[in-house]
Chain A
Amino acid sequence: EDKVVQSPLSLVVHEGDTVTLNCSYEVTNFRSLLWYKQEKKAPTFLFMLTSSGIEKKSGRLSSILDKKELFSILNITATQTGDSAIYLCAVFHVQGAQKLVFGQGTRLTINP
């Protein structure tokens, strides 16, 4: 069965800390891995990773994919209260139809 597992499910840190969110997957015919940020509205797209070992970076956020070990990490440095959100990991794969499978999400809370 295809699955995407995120850890931790919940994380509370202080402003300024660095956090690492994890996403492991087991799917057939992997194509890409996506990260989304969800505040109290629509999830918004952060990164898409298709190649192993290449870091995607946007400001304080960065992500890397390990296709051999089947996982990805999302790193946030110098966290701010505005980083508080649910972070969703999803894997795009092909099994008959093309499908996106989501993990459970990590709820990140940044305290001032």
Chain B
Amino acid sequence: DVKVTQSSRYLVKRTGEKVFLECVQDMDHENMFWYRQDPGLGLRLIYFSYDVKMKEKGDIPEGYSVSREKKERFSLILESASTNQTSMYLCASSFGGTYSGANVLTFGAGSRLTVL
């Protein structure tokens, strides 16, 4: 069964702490994404990556950075966590390309982060 695995389901951190959210996929997907999900706002794209060591800003990149050193792993980093970053974070991946279905995302189970 193909999978996107997020390392932590629940985290509680303090304001100012550095936070790492890890995501691993076993489908040999080219593309990986980080979204945050908030009530009433839906899923908003933070960063995405189409290749190893490559990253692109999404719609709300401020306060976040990412790392993709290996194809299967995409990490989201909060350099100095703030209370407004309390949210559900969802990682996703896709094959990418132009054929039908290439951009269907497979999601991880999510990491619920609370910043106190």
Binding site for B on A (CB under 8 A): 4, 6, 9, 31-32, 34, 36, 41-45, 48, 50, 88, 90, 92, 97-105
Partner of B105, one of A4, A31, A41, A100: A100
Determine how close the nearest CB of chain A comes to the CB of B103; give it in whole angstroms: 5
Partner of A32, one of B44, B58, B103, B106: B103
CB<8 Å pairs between A and B, sample of 24: A9-B40, A31-B103, A32-B103, A34-B105, A36-B107, A41-B109, A41-B110, A42-B90, A43-B90, A43-B105, A44-B107, A45-B106, A48-B104, A88-B43, A98-B103, A99-B48, A100-B103, A101-B45, A102-B35, A102-B43, A102-B44, A104-B40, A104-B41, A104-B42
In the assembly, what is the distance between CA of A102 and CA of B48, in Å? 15
Chain A residues touching B, majority SS: strand
Q: What are the residues of chain A within 8 A of B35 when measuring CB–CB?
A: 102
Q: What are the residues of chain A within 8 A of B58 when measuring CB–CB?
A: 99
Report, as a range, how many residues of chain B touch the other chain: 20 to 34
In the assembly, what is the distance between CA of A41 and CA of B50, in Å? 25
Q: Does B24 contact A (CB under 8 A)?
A: no
Across chains A and B, the number of contacting residue pairs, with CB separation under 8 Å, is 57
Interface 1/0 per residue, B37-74 and A, CB below 8 Å: 00011111100101000001010000000000000000
Establish whether residues B42 and A102, one from each chain, have CB atoms under 8 Å apart when the complex forms.
yes
Binding site for A on B (CB under 8 A): 4, 33, 35, 40-45, 48, 50, 56, 58, 90, 96, 100-101, 103-110
Q: What are the residues of chain B within 8 A of A97 when measuring CB–CB?
A: 48, 50, 56
Q: Given A43-B90, A103-B42, A104-B41, verify A48-B101 contact (CB < 8 Å).
A: yes
Return the chain A residue nearest B104 by Cβ.
A45
Determine how close the nearest CB of chain B comes to the CB of A13; give it in whole angstroms: 20
Return the chain B residue nearest A104 by Cβ.
B42
Q: What are the residues of chain A within 8 A of B43 when measuring CB–CB?
A: 88, 90, 102, 105
Partner of A34, one of B41, B42, B48, B104: B104
Q: Given A9-B40, A104-B40, A104-B42, verify A42-B104 contact (CB < 8 Å).
A: no
